[in-house]
Structure 1
Amino acid sequence: MEIDAETFRRLRRLAPVVDDILNAGEVEHASQAVNLAALAQLCSTLFDAYCSMHPEETAQANLDMLESQK
């Protein structure tokens, strides 16, 4: 799935924030919380688009995830 250059740049700028949140479980600086709502919306939109374009891969990834949690 291709994304436009501006969307790619936005994701790259937000990647460190997501990394901090996932690794630390919290936002350490107020400036890191900027655009989290936009990031959530963008991720949701990209995920929905990917799911509609690749339903088999998405279903398999979900099964793999469930299996790894056992």
Structure 2
Amino acid sequence: MANILSLLIATLAVVSPVAQADSYYPGAQSLDAITLYRCQSDGSVEKVHECYIGCIDGGDDNDGKCIAEIP
């Protein structure tokens, strides 16, 4: 079971929006992969919510969702 959980977490890290974003937006790698951010019109980001495990990108104009939220 622990191996499956480790594999799931590793997979989420690889496909995370933050990991993918760094190839398009310099500096994105410094963002926390388990935190949801909202892009602002001036190019900055706003921290929306910190997740317990990971998050799913909502795409353009949609809020992302946490897989498990920090209480």
Greater Cα radius of gyration, structure 1 or 2: 1
* Structure number having the greater strand percentage: 2
- Is the TM-score greater than 0.5? no
TM-score normalized with structure 1 length: 0.29
